Amino acid sequence: MLYDSTKVLIRGMLRDMETIETVHWDDQVELGRECLYEMHQMTRPQYKGWRADAKGHSSGVTEFVRATRAIPFVKSMVSAIRRKDHATAVTSGRAALAEM
């Protein structure tokens, strides 16, 4: 659930940066911080205990791995937003969404 809301948040940020002529940079920085917080919550180690088995694991790439791969791109996007670098922010946001 947290994974889906983070993807929606990134999509919303991208939509706003791509469609609105005047980007509200302060709002985008706050949304970016929220997105990073959620991603760090998703990727923190979770204790599985000694009963962890392979039954519940899928063979594909997990949400944990996808979010971990996307974090550097989201950090780059937030950094670009702080600098008000529109092109880099959009490019990094698209890359983050592709990793998710």
Q: What was the pLDDT predicted at 57?
A: 53
Q: What was the pLDDT predicted at 21?
A: 80
- Structure tokens that stand for 31 in this block: 């949304």
Q: What was the pLDDT predicted at 37?
A: 92
pLDDT tens by residue, 37-96: 999 888 876 555 555 555 555 556 688 888 899 999 999 999 999 999 999 999 999 999
Q: What was the pLDDT predicted at 32?
A: 93
Alpha-carbon gap, residue 77 to 83, rounded angstroms: 10
Higher pLDDT, 100 or 91: 91
- Structure tokens that stand for 41 in this block: 């919550």
